């Protein structure tokens, strides 16, 4: 007799506390030994996730509560990683929607909730962070109801159960007046409101691959939910490929989930989430089924990408000095490998063998891929992100984004003006009475490329902006995203303090003295709209006379740091970002290359 099961996904806007809440559920379910050193954000296992404090890959864990096995799936909050959310929602029968008691639902809450409602799930709403100052838990519940109605939820979904919680303090409660104790009310809510999985263990086997993992010992591991039938270790089963081809293979290992560990099991019935080894060429969305009666489940449909950029072999004067993998074959193989697990990504070959068109969900989606490749030792260069246009009913259309900004009141005018220039239309504006305002806009995706830097300057670093894909609409006119010209190095060499001090009044530098530069490398931003070439390697002519001003301490302005995302937003269409494991440089494309590209 197998245990009763509940499969639940945790969905929320980025930073509303999903991973922290999962930490509390794990700790109170008793999966850690007494005195065991428990890391925070247990589920964010990837280095980049820990550094940035965001979830990028969806992951699952399992806990026992009152003889019931609860499979919990933590999903990303960024719409850029929506592909991760879409594919795991097919594994669950219910979801927990987490909303910040202070901010209420945000753009990406809308995005993930819409996907859950389309799948027919009935969410349990958890109003998190109720212990923070300025929290309005009941106000957040009202806003969530408005959002449900706006997204076309049915009457049953609108009558959602809700709880109040603090993931950090480790408690949940049904009413605000209740005592702060532990997470038990949330566990009870999952048992009570999430239906058990539907599936018949007597039918032929059907398991859909929703996640891929890799082990050096076992090779590729596929993770998915058993929709029907029973799966046993060591048995021969069939894999129905995307094109309908059937490949038979033997299960070399069958694993279930227990806490954060995978444990070996002999068999699993319908409703269980399992990991299976033995299928080296299985891909996401394909079905493992019985060889006598192969029946494929419908493939997972994922929204199309909205941004595209070119990945090219690095051909700058410093090419090949810092990277381990630099050839077009190595870059191509790595991109093709990424396609196997990253369902929202597209890679196309171009007419040039050393350039690849890579399309994704947004700047963050592509930025994470670039950063991951860079850390693995790849060296390449990327072009400015371009929006993907589409034809709808014979009319050219472009993607639009919903943008929500939380800004100080004195920056409202400046932000509205800038977005107006970028064809943004204001939908809503709310003042909170504490010197901050929340603005809601609908903007063409083109208008948001390069906007973050401007936004940070307008709000002096105090603003928060979030946006998510809305839909395709007819093309708007020219998007007036202007920026000044750039300062370009005139020759190869090492930048000197003397030359940079003399050119300081020309603009802002991106580099420090002592940086190696080459002809055509962008070293700063000009104060004027034109590009300007500078000799920043010029050294001071030394004489044997003592200068009168020799004792003064001369200082340079602090250079502006160009991280990867900032660089991708900053570059123009005739510029590239050179990415190596050690540095990120900006450069102008050589004139003859530009002519050829045009």
What is the reported pLDDT for 41? 46
Please indicate, yes or no, whether residues 85 and 28 belong to a single structural domain of this protein: yes
Instruction: Return mean pLDDT, the chain.
Output: 80
Token pair in block for residue 337:
């490998």
Domains of the chain: total:
4
Q: What is the pLDDT of residue 44?
A: 45
Q: Report whether 515 contacts 483 (CB < 8 A).
A: no
Opening angle at CA 506, ends 501 and 509, nearest 5: 65
Which three-class secondary structure state does DSSP give residue 150?
A: helix
Among the ranges given (70-79, 116-125, 191-200, 576-585), the one the predictor scored with the smallest mean pLDDT:
70-79
Q: Domain containing 529 — which CATH number?
A: 2.40.50.250
Per-residue pLDDT of 253-302, as tens digits, reads: 888 887 767 888 888 888 888 888 888 777 777 888 888 888 888 877 66
Quick one: 212 and 185 in the same domain? no
* Same-domain status, 188 and 228: no
Question: 30-80, pLDDT tens digit by residue?
Answer: 654 444 444 444 444 455 545 555 555 556 778 888 888 888 887 765 555
Both 33 and 122 in one domain: the answer is yes
In whole angstroms, what is the distance from residue 324 CA to residue 327 CA? Answer: 9
pLDDT value at residue 448: 82
In a domain, 584, yes or no: no
Per the model's pLDDT, the better-predicted residue between 377 and 90 turns out to be: 377
Q: What is the pLDDT of residues 351-362, one digit of tens each?
A: 888 899 999 877
Do both 111 and 178 map to the same domain?
yes
Q: Which domain holds residue 448?
A: 390-474
224, 189: one domain? no
Shared domain for 450 and 495, answered yes or no, is no
| Cα separation, 596 vs 594, whole angstroms | 5
- Would you call 371 helix, strand, or coil by DSSP? helix
Query: What are the tens digits of pLDDT across the range 501-547?
Result: 888 888 889 998 988 999 999 999 988 888 889 888 888 877 777 66
> What span, in angstroms and rounded, lies between the C-alpha atoms of 241 and 247?
8
Residue 220's pLDDT is what? 79
Same domain, 243 and 177: no
Q: Are strands 162-166 and 124-128 parallel, antiparallel or unpaired?
A: parallel
pLDDT for the residue 578: 92
Is the pLDDT reported for residue 189 higher than 80?
yes
Pairwise pLDDT comparison (124 vs 25), residue with the higher score: 124
Q: How confident is the model at residue 131 (pLDDT cuts 50, 70, 90)?
A: confident
Residue 90 maps to a domain: yes
Q: What residue numbers does the annotated binding site for GTP cover? A: 15-20, 128-131
- Say how far residue 210 (Cα) sits from the centre of its chain: 18
Residue 577: pLDDT band (50, 70, 90) is: very high
**Residues 31, 58: one domain?**
yes
Which CATH number goes with the domain that contains 64? 3.40.50.300
| CA-closest candidate to residue 473, choices 510, 440, 445, 501 | 445
Q: Are residues 139 and 279 in the same domain?
A: no
Task: Return the H-helix or E-strand segment holding 26.
Answer: helix 18-28
Q: How far apart are CA 420 and CA 438, in angstroms?
A: 16
Residues 43, 168, single domain; the answer is: yes
Of 446, 474, 502, which one is at a domain's C-terminal end? Answer: 474
pTM strictly above 0.75:
no
pLDDT band at 550; cut points 50, 70, 90: low
* Domain assignment present for 369: no
Same domain as 271, residue 129: no
**CATH number of domain containing 268:** 2.40.30.10
Q: Is residue 366 part of a domain?
A: no
Q: Is residue 405 part of a domain?
A: yes
pLDDT of residue 597 exceeding 90:
no
Among the candidates 422, 443, 474, a domain finishes at: 474
DSSP designation for 174: S
497 occurs within a structural domain: yes
Distance CA 279, CA 214 (A): 11
Distance of alpha carbon 312 from alpha carbon 147, whole angstroms: 43
- Any idea how long the chain is? 598
Question: What pLDDT does 481 receive?
Answer: 59
Radius of gyration of the chain (CA): 27
pLDDT surpasses 70 at 323: yes
User: Could you tell me if 278 and 209 are in contact, meaning their C-beta atoms sit under 8 angstroms apart?
Assistant: no
Is the Cβ–Cβ distance between 577 and 583 less than 8 Å? no
305: in domain: no
**CATH number, domain with residue 465:** 3.30.70.240
371, part of any domain? no
- Express as a percent the part of the chain with pLDDT over 90: 8
**Rounded-to-integer distance, Cα 487 and Cα 165, Å:** 52
The CB density around residue 33, as the number of other CB atoms within 10 Å, is 8
Considering 444, 474, 504, which residue would you say is the last residue of a domain?
474
User: Cβ distance 356 to 329 under 8 Å?
Assistant: no
| pLDDT for the residue 361 | 77
Write out pLDDT tens, residues 220-261: 788 888 888 888 888 888 888 877 788 888 888 888 887 767
Q: Which residues are annotated as a binding site?
A: 15-20, 128-131
> What tokens were used for 430?
């709310």
Longest dimension (CA), the chain: 97
């Amino acid at each position: 007799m197998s245990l009763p099961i509940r499969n639940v996904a945790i969905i929320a806007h980025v930073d509303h506390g999903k991973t922290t809440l999962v930490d509390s559920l794990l700790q109170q379910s008793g999966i850690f030994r007494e005195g065991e050193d428990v890391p925070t954000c247990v589920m964010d296992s990837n280095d980049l996730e820990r550094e940035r404090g965001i979830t990028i890959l969806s992951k699952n864990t399992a806990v026992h509560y009152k003889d019931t096995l609860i499979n919990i799936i933590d999903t990303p909050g960024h719409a850029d990683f929506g592909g991760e959310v879409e594919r795991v929602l097919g594994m669950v029968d219910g979801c927990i929607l987490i909303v910040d008691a202070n901010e209420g639902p945000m753009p990406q809450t809308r995005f993930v909730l819409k996907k859950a409602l389309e799948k027919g799930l009935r969410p349990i709403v958890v109003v998190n962070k109720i212990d923070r100052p300025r929290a309005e838990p009941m106000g957040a519940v009202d806003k969530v109801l408005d959002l449900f109605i706006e997204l076309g939820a049915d009457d049953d979904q609108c009558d959602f159960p809700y709880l109040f919680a603090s993931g950090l303090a480790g408690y949940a409660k049904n009413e605000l007046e209740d005592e702060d104790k532990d997470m038990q009310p949330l566990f009870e809510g999952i048992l009570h409101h999430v239906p058990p999985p539907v599936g018949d263990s007597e039918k032929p086997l059907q398991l859909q691959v929703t996640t891929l993992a890799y082990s050096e010992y076992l090779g590729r591991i596929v993770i998915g939910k058993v929709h029907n039938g029973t799966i046993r270790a060591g048995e021969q089963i069939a894999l129905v490929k995307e094109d309908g081809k059937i490949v038979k293979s033997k299960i070399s290992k069958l694993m279930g989930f227990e806490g954060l560990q995978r444990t070996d099991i002999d068999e699993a019935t319908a409703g269980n989430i399992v990991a299976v080894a033995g299928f080296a060429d299985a891909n996401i969305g394909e079905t493992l089924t019985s060889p006598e009666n192969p029946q494929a489940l419908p493939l997972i449909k994922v929204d199309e990408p909205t941004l595209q950029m070119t990945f090219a072999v690095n051909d700058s004067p410093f090419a090949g000095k810092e990277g381990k993998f630099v050839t077009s074959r190595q870059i191509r193989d790595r991109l093709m490998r990424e396609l196997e697990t990253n369902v929202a990504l597209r890679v196309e070959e171009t007419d040039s063998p050393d350039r690849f068109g890579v399309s994704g969900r947004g700047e963050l989606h592509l930025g994470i891929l670039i950063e991951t490749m860079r850390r693995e030792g790849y060296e390449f260069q990327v072009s400015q992100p371009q929006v993907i246009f589409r034809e709808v009913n014979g009319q050219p259309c472009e993607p639009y984004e919903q943008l929500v900004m939380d800004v100080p009141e004195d920056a409202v005018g400046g932000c509205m003006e800038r977005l107006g220039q970028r064809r943004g239309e204001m939908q809503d504006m709310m003042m909170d009475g504490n010197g901050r305002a929340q603005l809601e806009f609908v903007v063409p995706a083109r208008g948001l490329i390069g906007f973050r830097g401007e936004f940070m300057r307008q709000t002096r670093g105090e603003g928060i902006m979030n946006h998510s894909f809305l839909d395709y609409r007819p093309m708007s006119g020219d998007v007036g995203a202007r920026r000044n010209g750039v300062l370009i190095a005139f020759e190869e060499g090492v930048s000197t303090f003397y030359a940079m001090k003399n050119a300081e009044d020309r603009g802002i530098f991106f580099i420090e003295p002592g940086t190696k530069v080459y002809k055509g490398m962008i070293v700063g931003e000009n104060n004027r709209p034109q590009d300007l070439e500078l000799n920043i390697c010029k050294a001071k002519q030394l004489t044997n006379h003592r200068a009168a001003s020799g004792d003064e301490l001369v200082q340079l302005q602090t250079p502006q740091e160009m991280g990867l995302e900032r660089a991708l937003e900053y570059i123009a269409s005739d510029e590239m970002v050179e990415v190596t494991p050690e540095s990120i440089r900006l450069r102008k494309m050589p004139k003859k290359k530009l002519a050829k590209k045009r």
